[in-house]
């Protein structure tokens, strides 16, 4: 399995200028190739191949006075820019054929784009020095903040400048399946997960993980930064500084949310052999009044993490259909009571009389729909008081019933 490891890099002033030249040259070659292909399409001619574009737009252009400055960067960066355009066209046409979700037509890149990236392959002869620095051709040795050890030798490295002005080195790593399987302990536990807003995740064993709401907690800071940006004159340096502050504030929220998703997904994969989740209609929910909370939760990114980590570590990941009535069916007797409004968090089954927690019951049903052998005893359920027969009415003292979790000695959350 191929994975991507990203590390923060800290270029010097001269190295930032060299990276800016690399970003600009890659963008110019990309736009030139896109223009040539669009002209060929308008004329009814076949698309030029990457090799032909490379001869004209890179090798030939370097010999002209107008494009002589392309020789100031590594040729591999320019070649990879053409490969990126080829991949963009391939994704667009595959979307039209139904082989993948629809993608937009490739567009021209702008020098005003706040995110820039260049990629170096092994042909560029980049390397990691003995001192732990990243040596790139015609750029220099970049200082890298190594947060973990690379499991194997990387094949490519991509240098990215994000909207907040930070630089990252992203490595593509080929992992060893046998080594990955040895990292995880043996377990036979299975779990179903019900994702929500009040609680980010509720497990079929009754565990509830609170929603951190990172965006909601940072709203005041983001509001002040956005107001400061709105006061600056367009095109001024102060406006660019204010824009960077807004981008850094948003990047901080995204970073802590990603860290939360990684920690939670790793914990679930480590402690469970099989995991079942529900395929939520995130795009539809994002068009409701709960849109900000839905985006703040980041369910899609979390489930993607669960999926690729399960594939990496030999766990089973099952995604059930979004139309499964997980909140309408009793996890004990299977009776369907119909839809319920969102404010109903506890409900009584009309078939067996069990009082069910809505979220825990849904998590158990998710696990059952995924084909996982999950017992409903972990759910917060209890028997509702059942009227005694007429002949026995008033003959026994009333005894308060206890939830099943308390009878089993399971501590509450």
278 is catalytic: yes
- Sign, CA torsion 58/63/67/73: positive
3-class SS of residue 395: coil
Q: What is the DSSP letter of 69?
A: G
Cβ contacts of 129 within 8 Å, gap of 6 or more = 135, 141
Let me know if 32 is a catalytic residue: no
**Helices and strands in the chain, H and E counts:** 12, 15
What does each C-alpha distance from 299 to 199, 211, 295, 302, 362 come to in angstroms? Answer: 12, 11, 8, 5, 16
CA distance 407 to 413: 15
| Residue 113 bears catalytic tag | no
- Do residues 124 and 74 lie in contact, with contact meaning Cβ atoms separated by under 8 Å? yes
Per residue, the 3-state secondary structure of 122-151, as one string, reads: HHHCCEECCCCCEEECCCEEEEEECCCCCC
Measured CA to CA in angstroms, residue 374 lies from 188, 222, 295, 334, 378 at distances of 11, 43, 30, 14, 9
Q: How far apart are CA 267 and CA 32, in angstroms?
A: 47
Q: Indicate which residue of 32, 278, 296, 357 is catalytic.
A: 278
Pairing verdict, β 316-320 and 274-278: parallel
In degrees and rounded to multiples of 5, residue 126 shows phi and psi of -80, 160
**Rounded CA separation 39/341 (Å):** 56
120's tokens: 């170096």
Rounded to the nearest 10 degrees, the angle between the axes of helix 13-42 and helix 75-96 is 40
Q: Which of 194, 205, 296, 357 is catalytic?
A: 194
User: Which tokens sit at 247?
Assistant: 């981008």
Supply the DSSP string of 204-216, one letter for each residue: TTS-EEE---HHH
Report the distance separating Cα 119 and Cα 26, nearest Å.
10
Catalytically active residues, by annotation: 194, 278, 359
């Amino acid at each position: 399995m191929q994975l991507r490891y990203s590390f923060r890099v800290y270029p010097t002033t001269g190295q930032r200028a060299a990276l800016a030249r690399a970003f600009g040259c890659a963008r110019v070659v990309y736009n030139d190739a896109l223009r040539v292909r669009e002209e060929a399409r308008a004329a009814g001619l076949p698309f030029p191949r990457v090799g032909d574009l490379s001869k004209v737009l890179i090798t030939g252009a370097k010999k002209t006075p107008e494009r002589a400055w392309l020789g100031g960067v590594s040729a591999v960066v320019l070649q990879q820019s053409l490969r990126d355009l080829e991949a963009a066209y391939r994704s667009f046409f595959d979307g039209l054929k139904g082989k993948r979700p629809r993608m937009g037509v490739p567009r021209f890149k702008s020098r005003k784009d706040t995110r820039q990236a260049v990629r170096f392959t092994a042909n560029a002869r980049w390397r990691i020095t003995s001192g732990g620095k990243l040596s790139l051709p015609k750029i220099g040795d970049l200082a890298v903040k190594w947060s973990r050890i690379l499991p194997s030798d990387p094949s490519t490295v991509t240098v990215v400048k994000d909207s907040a002005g930070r630089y990252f080195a992203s490595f593509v790593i080929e992992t060893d399946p046998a080594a990955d399987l040895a990292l995880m302990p043996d377990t036979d536990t299975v779990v179903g997960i019900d994702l929500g807003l009040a609680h980010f995740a509720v497990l079929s064993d009754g565990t509830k993980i609170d929603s951190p709401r990172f965006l909601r907690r940072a709203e005041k800071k983001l509001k002040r930064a956005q107001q400061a940006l709105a006061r600056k004159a367009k095109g001024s340096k102060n406006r660019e500084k204010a824009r960077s502050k807004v981008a850094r504030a948003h990047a901080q929220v995204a970073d802590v949310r990603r860290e939360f998703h990684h920690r939670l997904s790793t914990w679930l994969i480590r402690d469970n052999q099989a995991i079942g989740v529900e395929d939520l209609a995130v795009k539809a929910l994002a068009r409701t009044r709960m849109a900000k909370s839905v985006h703040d939760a980041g369910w899609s990114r979390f489930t993607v993490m669960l999926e690729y980590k399960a594939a990496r570590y030999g766990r089973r990941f099952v995604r059930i259909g979004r139309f499964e009535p997980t909140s309408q069916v009793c996890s004990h007797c299977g009776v369907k009571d119909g839809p319920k409004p969102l404010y109903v968090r506890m409900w009584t089954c009309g078939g067996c009389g069990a009082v069910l927690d809505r979220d825990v019951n849904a998590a158990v049903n998710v696990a059952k729909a995924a084909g996982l052998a999950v017992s409903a005893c972990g759910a917060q359920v209890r028997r509702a008081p059942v009227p005694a027969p007429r002949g026995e009415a008033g003959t026994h003292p009333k005894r308060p019933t206890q939830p099943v979790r308390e009878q089993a000695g399971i501590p509450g959350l």
